[in-house]
Amino acid sequence: MAFAYYDALRSISILRASRAAVCCLTAAAALCCTVHARAESGWTRWGGPNQDWKIKCGKLAGEWPESGPKKIWTRELGEGYSSISEEDGKLYTMYREEGEDGKEVAICLDAGTGRTIWEYKYKAKPSDEHVMEFGAGPRATPLICDDRVYTIGVSGIMHCLNKADGKVVWKHDLWKEFKGTVLNHGYSSSALDYGDTVIAMVGG
């Protein structure tokens, strides 16, 4: 996965080497936790702040330079399909380190420079039942709620992290605790918030 940050459109482009896998997930587990009112700005979840793929922003460039918009920074991360959440000039995403038993990584980056603010790594070996044709993930997008970041890895490990430093507040194993079925391409759905509840899909 590579990040490229462009000035003219103030946007992030994610370049991937493989196609995205589509996973069918059934059943749902609602995990109650303290979640405050969602932010009115930023791209804080899958689908944007209101889950309609829209966001208020300033004017975009009226014309493209012949050479394209100015690239501010670019950097390589590991494998994965996790898209990017953004709030207050910080970017949040997930990727997998190289290696057969590679760890999943939740990372926070400075949007202006690409500098790593924090990383949280944990073991997440894909199940023997996972189909690896499209890679080992992760696939879900981080959810930002107030001072917390919620992530879910391909093996169904859900973390609540402190937004400031990436330290673990709590975690759940969605498949083991809620007896879900391990699906071919692993866990792909992103967490959503509703009121004071975080909702996560579990393989049925």
Residue 193 near residue 25, CB atoms below 8 Å:
no
**Environment class of residue 8 by beta-carbon count within 10 Å: exposed (0-12), middle (13-18) or buried (19+)?**
middle
Question: Cis omega before residue 126 (within 30°)?
Answer: no
For residue 154, give the nearest of 73, 72, 81 by alpha carbon.
Answer: 81
β-pair partners for 104 = 96, 122
CB 157 within 8 A of CB 138: no
- Distance of alpha carbon 50 from its chain centroid, rounded? 16
**Looking at this protein, which amino acid is placed at residue 95?**
Y
Tens digit of each residue's pLDDT (9 = 90 or more) over 46-60: 888 888 888 777 777
- What is the C-alpha to C-alpha distance for residues 63 and 59, in angstroms, rounded to an integer? 12
Number of C-beta neighbours around residue 43 at 10 A: 22
Which residues, at least 6 apart from 97, have a Cβ–Cβ distance to it below 8 Å? 78, 103, 104, 105, 121
- Rounded Cα distance between 32 and 194, Å, is 10
- Quote the Cα angle for 192-86-151, to 5°: 40
pTM of the model: 0.76
Cα–Cα distance for residue pair 12/109, rounded to 1 Å:
12
Question: What is the tens place of the pLDDT at every residue in 173-194?
Answer: 888 888 777 776 678 889 988 8
Q: Check if the beta carbon of residue 105 is closer than 8 Å to that of residue 96.
A: yes
Sketch out the chain's domains with CATH numbers. Answer: 22-48+79-201 (2.40.10.480)
**Mean pLDDT, rounded, for 78-95:** 93
Q: What is the pLDDT of residues 100-143, one digit of tens each?
A: 667 999 999 999 999 999 999 998 877 666 666 666 778 899 99
- Looking at the chain, how many residues does it have? 204
Structure tokens at 101: 């038993």
pLDDT digits (tens, 9 = 90+) for 136-173: 778 899 999 999 999 999 888 999 999 999 999 999 98
